[in-house]
Chains A and B, each alone.
Chain A
Amino acid sequence: MSCKKIHNNLIFYLEGELSSEEMQAVRSHLDDCDDCRRFAEMMKQQLQLIESEKQTEVSPYFFTKLSVRLDEKYEQFRLPAQGWLQLTTFSLLLIVGIVVGIYLGNLPYNTVQTQSVDNNMLLMNDFETEPIETFLLELQ
């Protein structure tokens, strides 16, 4: 049996799931091949770890803790305080964004689009000297 074939079947060999001929073939390959034997050893250790971490003890306070949570009524409907805050803030921002968007969308085109390139440059220069508040007031 080639090393590659061994690698494909090793886990089933370790689990005892191969036919007796196949089991024998893998066994005799492992006797001769250091590399496959080392891999088999490593995988065997890993599978044994599963056994070692199988059983766990449950905290003696498990039911007490659960009872406390049971008493908290309406728990299923509760969103954490932070969650509500985030939701409200986001909704408000969204509404403000939509209102501003509609307002800007309705502005007369000629205030922005009919300017020549030169005027645009001037306008942009004006931005620097003119406070933004005044500019917005003029638009209205």
Chain B
Amino acid sequence: MNEPSLIKGIQQNDQHAYRTLVENYQKMVVNTCKSIVYNHADAEDIAQDVFLEVFRNANQFRGEAQLSTWLYRIAINRSLNFVRNNRRKRFWQSIEDTFTGGRNNNREISENHNDQPDSGITDKQRKEILHQAIGMIPEKQRIAFTLNKYEDLSYQQIAEIMNLSLSSVESLIHRAKKNLQDQLYECYKKKCI
């Protein structure tokens, strides 16, 4: 099934077209969500919402962009919303903890692992440090960097998805890498690993 007939099928509520779309793009959508929210179960939940949104709004798809571009955009927006809501929740949780005397669970890139020997650090902890460092990168830079690194997308593809010029994408990714380096250097100085 080629792209135009796939879209037509979805616009006509054809179950076969639904299934084909999901089978063709589920991996791409789940991966994109996961590269932003860093949790597989959450990524699959968000990916489900992405497809539901596509089915509901299929009539709005004009075919000016590729189907994948559209899916990437929805996946990114929904994942970013999820991360923002999560941050808000964690913010209020930390305030609640302050007043209830509970332990503040906020983890930062800091001396958390100082007391552990070098060999004691697990892959999970390394990943947490990486995710937190990437999480500190400003949003646009982070998305451009993530699409390039996790999705292996070319700068041209990223420019289309983010609706930016090629040079803007180059600049975003360059700054993202610099920021990531700064975050990791802070971490290195504090002997976080």
Which residues from chain A sit less than 8 Å from chain B, CB to CB?
7-8, 10-12, 15, 38-39, 42-43, 45-46, 49-50, 53-56, 58-59, 62-63, 65-66, 69-70, 75-76
- Chain A residues, Cβ within 8 Å of B133: 46
Q: Which of B72-130 contact A (CB under 8 A)?
A: 123, 126-127, 129-130
In the complex, residue of chain B having the shortest beta-carbon distance to the beta carbon of A45: B126
Chain B contact residue count (CB 8 A cutoff): 35
In the complex, residue of chain A having the shortest beta-carbon distance to the beta carbon of B185: A7
- Chain B residues, Cβ within 8 Å of A59: 44
Instruction: Let me know if B136 is at the binding interface, CB within 8 A.
Output: no
Question: Is the CB–CB distance between A70 and B52 below 8 Å?
Answer: yes
Question: Is the CB–CB distance between A11 and B181 below 8 Å?
Answer: yes
Question: Is the CB–CB distance between B34 and A46 below 8 Å?
Answer: no
21 A-B residue pairings within 8 Å (CB atoms): A8-B181, A15-B177, A39-B185, A39-B188, A42-B188, A42-B193, A46-B126, A46-B133, A50-B150, A54-B152, A58-B44, A58-B47, A59-B44, A62-B22, A62-B47, A62-B48, A63-B23, A63-B26, A66-B51, A69-B48, A76-B56
Instruction: Let me know if B140 is at the binding interface, CB within 8 A.
Output: no
In the complex, residue of chain A having the shortest beta-carbon distance to the beta carbon of B30: A58
Question: Is the CB–CB distance between B127 and A53 below 8 Å?
Answer: yes
Given known contacts A55-B31, A70-B55, A65 and B177 CB-to-CB distance under 8 angstroms: no
Besides A46-B184, A62-B30, 14 other CB < 8 A contacts? A12-B177, A43-B184, A46-B126, A46-B129, A46-B130, A49-B123, A49-B126, A50-B130, A55-B31, A56-B34, A56-B40, A63-B19, A65-B48, A70-B18
- Across the A-B interface, give the 10 residue pairs with the lowest CB-CB distance, nearest first: A11-B181, A11-B177, A58-B26, A58-B30, A39-B188, A63-B22, A46-B130, A49-B130, A50-B149, A43-B184
The smallest beta-carbon distance between B147 and chain A, in angstroms, is 12
Instruction: Let me know if B8 is at the binding interface, CB within 8 A.
Output: no
- Chain A residues, Cβ within 8 Å of B144: none
- Chain B residues, Cβ within 8 Å of A50: 130, 149-150
Instruction: Let me know if B143 is at the binding interface, CB within 8 A.
Output: no
Q: Which of B10-68 contact A (CB under 8 A)?
A: 18-19, 22-23, 26-27, 30-31, 34, 40, 43-44, 47-48, 51-52, 55-56
State which of A10, A12, A66 has its C-beta within 8 Å of the C-beta of B48.
Answer: A66
Q: How far, in whole Å, are A43 and B27 apart by their CA atoms in the complex?
A: 28
The smallest beta-carbon distance between A63 and chain B, in angstroms, is 5
- Chain A residues, Cβ within 8 Å of B51: 66
The smallest beta-carbon distance between A76 and chain B, in angstroms, is 6
Given known contacts A66-B22, A75-B52, A43 and B181 CB-to-CB distance under 8 angstroms: yes
Instruction: Let me know if B137 is at the binding interface, CB within 8 A.
Output: no
In the complex, residue of chain A having the shortest beta-carbon distance to the beta carbon of B52: A69
Question: Is the CB–CB distance between B181 and A10 below 8 Å?
Answer: yes
Q: How far, in whole Å, are A14 and B98 apart by their CA atoms in the complex?
A: 42
Question: Is the CB–CB distance between B22 and A49 below 8 Å?
Answer: no
- Chain B residues, Cβ within 8 Å of A39: 184-185, 188
